[in-house]
Amino acid sequence: MNKIESASVIIKNKLSMKTILDLYQKSKSFNGTAFLYSGNKLTQVKNLPKLVSFLLTVTPGSIVKIIVEGSSSEKHLQSIAEICQQSHSKHSLKRNTSYNSIQI
């Protein structure tokens, strides 16, 4: 039986492309539908171009409503909420710079 679940989350930091792709991949494997709603805009999470456009317009501190419909909607809702609330540093690229000196 399909259930509809929803929750609101506050976006702490701008979402990185890695985070957006994680969200997209999770939703692709979900047997149901998930939407994000904020600022009078609604987007389906399984549509990557629209998801990226939507999340690029969301500013830190914004409230985003997550709406999920499917057989295991509560679990998927929790998964999306966790991804949306992850700190930016968790997915940011760690750059290690090393220099090798070469003598000629």
> How is the chain split into domains, by residue range?
3-86
For 40, 51, 65, 67, 86, the CA distances from 58, given in Å and listed in that order, are 12, 11, 12, 17, 15
Kindly give the interhelix angle for 17-28 and 48-57, rounded to the nearest 10 degrees. 140
Q: Which percentage of the chain shows pLDDT scores above 90?
A: 39
Count CB-CB contacts under 10 A for residue 86. Answer: 17
Token pair for 16: 């990185």
pTM: 0.76
pLDDT of residue 90: 43
- The whole-angstrom separation of Cα 7 and Cα 67 is 7
Query: What is the rounded end-to-end Cα distance, in angstroms, of the chain?
Result: 72
Q: Which percentage of the chain shows pLDDT scores above 70?
A: 82
Give residues with Cβ within 8 angstroms of 20, minimum separation 6: 51, 52, 55
Task: Give the architecture (CATH level 2) of 3-86.
Answer: 2-Layer Sandwich (3.30)
Average pLDDT, the chain: 82
- Write the pLDDT tens digit of every residue in 53-104: 999 999 888 999 999 998 888 888 898 888 888 755 343 334 444 444 455 5
- Under the banding of pLDDT at 50, 70 and 90, the label for residue 15 is confident
- The whole-angstrom separation of Cα 10 and Cα 62 is 6
